[in-house]
Amino acid sequence: MPIIIKTPTEWRKTQEKLNHTIGFVPTMGNLHAGHLALVERALKENETVVVSIFVNHTQFNDPADYDNYLRTLDEDCSKLDAINAHYVFNPNKDTMYPENYEVQVSENTDSEFMEGQFRQGHFTGMLTVVLKLLNIIGADKAYFGEKDFQQLKLIQKMVNALFIPTEIIACPTMREENGLALSSRNNRLTDDEKNHASLLYKYLSDFNLSDLEVKEALEKTGFRPEYVETKWGRRLTAAWLGDVRLIDNIPIQERK
């Protein structure tokens, strides 16, 4: 099983004994194949890999969403053991926020639209915890999925702006056979809803349709889309299906 580390002090004592490359995969747990693909890539490119599992309360704009987030540490560690990950960094709230979130990291341009418009405070909480984790782990490379593309762009921007030495590695979105992007939230969909959710990828990929036409098509088929926008060479969306909020994006060059 991977060795579980609970505090920055404990990790730094461990890190002192390592004299080779460290790869880092930050997660909130409830791991799926998409997370494991990030870990497997990190294992190929680094001699030691650390996976953080911390459900970060400061990035949830809806307290109920935070409460409902599945905590599956034992199952997660078993999955990581099967692919030979080395360490799990599993801190608690007090460890990560000794100052009670009085120190925050914010961005005031690319965080103001799309996810930033509909999830007030989300990106400040996300950037704050990612900076903390990068500072604690001190990895050579950190791996993030492209599904949360606006998040990825903000992390890259923060790392460049604050001269953080960790290299940010972007990894392609992993999908179900029907095209649905893998997400921990998918566990809250029924089988019928998972099948229906494949329409999100179908319409997002249809570049014969404008962004507005994609949004209208989603509405007609039972989704409640919050936005469909093209930016950074991608078409991005967030849409509710039942009580589950799904996000996805497609590179423009993937024209059908």
Q: Which residues are catalytic?
A: 35
∠189-206-186 over CA atoms, to 5°? 15
Work out the burial of residue 76: count CB atoms within 10 Å of its CB; fewer than 13 is exposed, 13-18 middle, 19 or more buried. buried
DSSP conformation class of 39: H
Nearest Cα neighbor of 181 from 152, 154, 204 is 204
Nearest Cα neighbor of 89 from 157, 179, 7 is 7
3 state SS of 237: strand
CA-CA distance, 241 to 57, in Å (whole number)? 23
∠119-8-65 over CA atoms, to 5°? 25
Going edge to edge, which strands form the sheet with 244-251?
224-231, 234-241, 244-251
DSSP conformation class of 62: S
